[in-house]
Amino acid sequence: MSELRGKQRKFADNYIKSGNATEAYVNAGYKVRSNETARANASRLLTNANVKAYIEKRLKQIESAKLATAQEILEYLTSVMRGEQTETVVTAKGLYKNVEVSAKDRITAAKELLKRYPVDPLYKMQLRKINAEADLTEARVKAMQGNNSTQEDKVAKMMGELQDAIRENTG
Protein backbone atom coordinates (compact mmCIF):
# COMPACT_ATOMS: atom_id res chain seq x y z
CA MET A 1 0.00 0.00 0.00
CA SER A 2 1.42 3.36 -0.96
CA GLU A 3 0.94 6.22 1.47
CA LEU A 4 -1.78 8.69 0.53
CA ARG A 5 -0.83 12.27 -0.16
CA GLY A 6 -2.62 15.55 -0.62
CA LYS A 7 -6.31 15.53 -1.41
CA GLN A 8 -6.74 11.76 -1.17
CA ARG A 9 -5.45 11.80 2.39
CA LYS A 10 -7.63 14.82 3.26
CA PHE A 11 -10.60 13.03 1.72
CA ALA A 12 -9.96 9.86 3.72
CA ASP A 13 -9.45 11.76 7.00
CA ASN A 14 -12.60 13.83 6.43
CA TYR A 15 -14.54 10.69 5.55
CA ILE A 16 -13.42 9.04 8.79
CA LYS A 17 -14.59 12.10 10.76
CA SER A 18 -17.94 12.65 9.07
CA GLY A 19 -18.88 9.33 7.46
CA ASN A 20 -20.20 11.37 4.52
CA ALA A 21 -18.22 10.73 1.34
CA THR A 22 -19.65 13.64 -0.65
CA GLU A 23 -18.95 16.10 2.15
CA ALA A 24 -15.46 14.65 2.63
CA TYR A 25 -14.77 15.03 -1.11
CA VAL A 26 -15.75 18.72 -1.09
CA ASN A 27 -13.87 19.46 2.16
CA ALA A 28 -10.72 17.80 0.79
CA GLY A 29 -10.48 20.63 -1.75
CA TYR A 30 -11.61 18.92 -4.93
CA LYS A 31 -13.27 21.25 -7.44
CA VAL A 32 -16.92 20.36 -7.71
CA ARG A 33 -19.41 21.41 -10.40
CA SER A 34 -22.41 19.65 -8.88
CA ASN A 35 -23.37 17.58 -5.89
CA GLU A 36 -23.97 14.57 -8.14
CA THR A 37 -20.44 14.81 -9.54
CA ALA A 38 -19.01 15.06 -6.04
CA ARG A 39 -21.04 12.04 -4.95
CA ALA A 40 -19.88 9.97 -7.93
CA ASN A 41 -16.21 10.95 -7.53
CA ALA A 42 -16.35 10.34 -3.76
CA SER A 43 -17.82 6.91 -4.37
CA ARG A 44 -15.05 6.17 -6.87
CA LEU A 45 -12.42 7.29 -4.34
CA LEU A 46 -13.86 4.94 -1.72
CA THR A 47 -13.24 2.02 -4.06
CA ASN A 48 -9.61 3.02 -4.64
CA ALA A 49 -7.49 0.28 -3.04
CA ASN A 50 -5.04 2.71 -1.42
CA VAL A 51 -7.77 4.95 -0.02
CA LYS A 52 -9.72 1.94 1.22
CA ALA A 53 -6.66 0.44 2.92
CA TYR A 54 -5.75 3.78 4.53
CA ILE A 55 -9.28 4.22 5.92
CA GLU A 56 -9.33 0.67 7.32
CA LYS A 57 -5.90 1.13 8.90
CA ARG A 58 -6.87 4.43 10.51
CA LEU A 59 -10.17 3.05 11.80
CA LYS A 60 -8.34 0.15 13.46
CA GLN A 61 -5.88 2.57 15.08
CA ILE A 62 -8.71 4.74 16.36
CA GLU A 63 -10.69 1.74 17.57
CA SER A 64 -7.82 0.19 19.50
CA ALA A 65 -6.95 3.51 21.13
CA LYS A 66 -10.54 4.12 22.27
CA LEU A 67 -11.42 0.65 23.55
CA ALA A 68 -10.58 -0.28 27.11
CA THR A 69 -8.53 -3.40 27.63
CA ALA A 70 -9.76 -6.21 29.86
CA GLN A 71 -7.08 -5.24 32.37
CA GLU A 72 -8.33 -1.64 32.50
CA ILE A 73 -11.90 -2.79 33.04
CA LEU A 74 -10.93 -5.16 35.84
CA GLU A 75 -8.82 -2.48 37.54
CA TYR A 76 -11.66 0.03 37.34
CA LEU A 77 -14.22 -2.43 38.72
CA THR A 78 -11.84 -3.27 41.54
CA SER A 79 -11.31 0.40 42.40
CA VAL A 80 -15.09 0.96 42.44
CA MET A 81 -15.62 -2.08 44.65
CA ARG A 82 -12.94 -0.83 47.07
CA GLY A 83 -14.52 2.63 47.25
CA GLU A 84 -11.56 4.33 45.59
CA GLN A 85 -13.73 6.06 42.96
CA THR A 86 -15.87 9.13 43.47
CA GLU A 87 -18.70 10.58 41.47
CA THR A 88 -20.66 13.77 41.03
CA VAL A 89 -24.23 13.57 42.32
CA VAL A 90 -27.02 15.93 41.34
CA THR A 91 -30.02 16.23 43.65
CA ALA A 92 -32.79 18.75 44.15
CA LYS A 93 -30.60 20.33 46.83
CA GLY A 94 -27.66 20.86 44.52
CA LEU A 95 -24.56 19.43 42.91
CA TYR A 96 -22.19 17.38 45.05
CA LYS A 97 -18.72 16.55 43.75
CA ASN A 98 -16.32 13.81 44.88
CA VAL A 99 -19.02 11.71 46.54
CA GLU A 100 -17.97 8.14 47.31
CA VAL A 101 -19.72 5.58 45.15
CA SER A 102 -22.74 4.03 46.80
CA ALA A 103 -22.78 0.63 48.45
CA LYS A 104 -25.12 -0.49 45.68
CA ASP A 105 -22.55 0.47 43.02
CA ARG A 106 -19.77 -1.24 44.99
CA ILE A 107 -21.83 -4.44 45.21
CA THR A 108 -22.58 -4.27 41.48
CA ALA A 109 -18.85 -3.92 40.75
CA ALA A 110 -18.13 -6.91 43.01
CA LYS A 111 -20.74 -8.98 41.17
CA GLU A 112 -19.22 -8.03 37.82
CA LEU A 113 -15.80 -9.13 39.07
CA LEU A 114 -17.22 -12.42 40.36
CA LYS A 115 -18.64 -13.13 36.92
CA ARG A 116 -15.07 -13.11 35.64
CA TYR A 117 -13.65 -15.04 38.60
CA PRO A 118 -16.37 -17.47 39.72
CA VAL A 119 -16.06 -18.90 43.22
CA ASP A 120 -19.69 -19.82 43.82
CA PRO A 121 -19.94 -23.65 44.07
CA LEU A 122 -23.31 -23.70 42.28
CA TYR A 123 -21.92 -21.62 39.43
CA LYS A 124 -18.89 -23.90 39.19
CA MET A 125 -21.16 -26.96 38.99
CA GLN A 126 -23.26 -25.32 36.26
CA LEU A 127 -20.10 -24.51 34.35
CA ARG A 128 -18.86 -28.12 34.71
CA LYS A 129 -22.21 -29.40 33.43
CA ILE A 130 -22.11 -27.11 30.41
CA ASN A 131 -18.54 -28.15 29.63
CA ALA A 132 -19.43 -31.84 29.99
CA GLU A 133 -22.39 -31.44 27.65
CA ALA A 134 -20.18 -29.67 25.12
CA ASP A 135 -17.58 -32.45 25.35
CA LEU A 136 -20.29 -35.09 24.90
CA THR A 137 -21.69 -33.31 21.85
CA GLU A 138 -18.22 -33.02 20.32
CA ALA A 139 -17.61 -36.73 20.91
CA ARG A 140 -20.91 -37.60 19.23
CA VAL A 141 -20.07 -35.45 16.21
CA LYS A 142 -16.62 -37.03 15.91
CA ALA A 143 -18.14 -40.49 16.15
CA MET A 144 -20.64 -39.70 13.42
CA GLN A 145 -17.94 -38.19 11.21
CA GLY A 146 -15.65 -41.16 11.73
CA ASN A 147 -18.32 -43.63 10.72
CA ASN A 148 -18.47 -44.08 6.92
CA SER A 149 -22.08 -45.26 6.84
CA THR A 150 -24.68 -43.09 5.22
CA GLN A 151 -26.94 -40.74 7.11
CA GLU A 152 -29.90 -43.05 6.45
CA ASP A 153 -28.02 -45.98 7.99
CA LYS A 154 -27.31 -43.93 11.09
CA VAL A 155 -30.95 -42.89 11.44
CA ALA A 156 -32.10 -46.49 10.91
CA LYS A 157 -29.66 -47.75 13.55
CA MET A 158 -30.80 -45.08 16.04
CA MET A 159 -34.46 -45.91 15.39
CA GLY A 160 -33.75 -49.60 15.97
CA GLU A 161 -32.00 -48.84 19.26
CA LEU A 162 -34.89 -46.60 20.29
CA GLN A 163 -37.44 -49.32 19.51
CA ASP A 164 -35.40 -51.90 21.47
CA ALA A 165 -35.28 -49.54 24.46
CA ILE A 166 -39.04 -48.99 24.28
CA ARG A 167 -39.68 -52.76 24.15
CA GLU A 168 -37.42 -53.31 27.16
CA ASN A 169 -39.19 -50.64 29.21
CA THR A 170 -42.71 -51.73 28.29
CA GLY A 171 -42.20 -55.51 28.26
pLDDT, tens digit, 9 for 90 and up, residues 40-74: 999 999 999 999 999 999 888 888 777 788 888 88
Q: Give the mean pLDDT of 27-35.
A: 93
DSSP annotation string for 114-155: HHHS---HHHHHHHHHHHHHHHHHHHHHHHHHH--S-HHHHH
H or E segment at 47? Answer: helix 35-47
Averaged confidence pLDDT in the chain: 85
Evaluate if pTM is beyond 0.75: no
**pLDDT interval class at 156 (50, 70, 90):** confident
pLDDT at position 137: 83
Residue 83 C-beta-side C-alpha neighbours within 13 Å: 5
pLDDT at position 85: 93
Q: Please state at what angle helix 49-66 crosses helix 6-18, rounded to 10 degrees.
A: 50
pLDDT at position 47: 92
List, for residues 114-133, the tens digit of each pLDDT value: 777 766 677 778 778 888 88
